[in-house]
Amino acid sequence: NDKSLVNAQLETIKIALSEALVGLDEPPIIISADANATHQSVVRVMDAARQLGLVKITFATQELKDE
């Protein structure tokens, strides 16, 4: 939800996801990671979502522009 986290620890991500999901029933998780994001960061978010029982995970994509 466009909010920065104080760190990238699994528990911090789970807390942030839990707070963002209040009042929502089975919302999709959309991961938007740019080229600077590490593979581990993306996997950590997916793991946090899975641990919270969230299974609708997708990735936002952008079309590459011709240079």
List pLDDT tens digits, range 2-11. 788 899 899 9
pTM score of the predicted model = 0.79
Cα gap 30→6, rounded to integer Å: 20
Would you state the pLDDT for residue 19? 92
Determine contact, residues 51/13, Cβ cutoff 8 Å.
no
In the structure, what pLDDT confidence band is assigned to residue 67 with cuts at 50, 70 and 90? low
Cα gap 34→55, rounded to integer Å: 22
Would you state the pLDDT for residue 33? 87
**Structural tokens at position 67:** 């240079």
Which residue bears the tokens 């522009």?
A: 65
Determine contact, residues 33/42, Cβ cutoff 8 Å.
yes
Cα gap 67→52, rounded to integer Å: 41
Task: Check pLDDT > 80 for residue 66.
Answer: no
